[in-house]
Amino acid sequence: MSEYGKIYPSKVDIFEGESVILTCNSYTIPRWTRKDHEEISEGHYKVGNDLMLNHVEEKDSGWYYCKGTLSNSSMFTTSAPVQIVGKIYRVLIIIRNIPVAVNSLKIKD
């Protein structure tokens, strides 16, 4: 069982265009915010204790905060960084009328 008052995973390295789910272990449904207490961007969804970041972009990188309640009714705030580490490029090549998909990764410097 995961420990209350934590976000899982505690750190996310992700490629642009991918999706990830952050889970806040709170006794009650938590409130999710971003750095500087901004609301979560459109296209990302809060469901129960989870925050689903869909098709992340560079603007989605940064700290995500979860404010919730422990089983003894005390409040907590915890955070986890999401870092965009590169981009996946998808290329479609046609060889003799047969489409062949090729993925290429570009890692950020």
Peptide bond just before 81 cis, omega within 30 deg: no
pLDDT per residue as tens, the chain (109 positions): 467 788 999 999 999 989 999 999 888 888 898 877 777 767 788 888 999 999 899 888 999 999 888 878 888 888 999 999 988 777 777 778 877 766 655 666 5
Question: How high is the pLDDT of residue 84?
Answer: 92
Asked whether the CA dihedral 64, 23, 31, 48 is positive or negative, the reply is positive
Q: Give the pLDDT confidence score for residue 24 in this predicted structure.
A: 92
Indicate the fold that domain 7-84 takes in CATH.
Immunoglobulin-like (2.60.40)
Residues forming a β-bridge with 83: 13
By the 10 Å C-beta count (0-12 exposed, 13-18 middle, 19+ buried), 53 is classed as: buried
pTM: 0.75
Q: Give the pLDDT of residue 102.
A: 64
For the chain, the domains span: 7-84
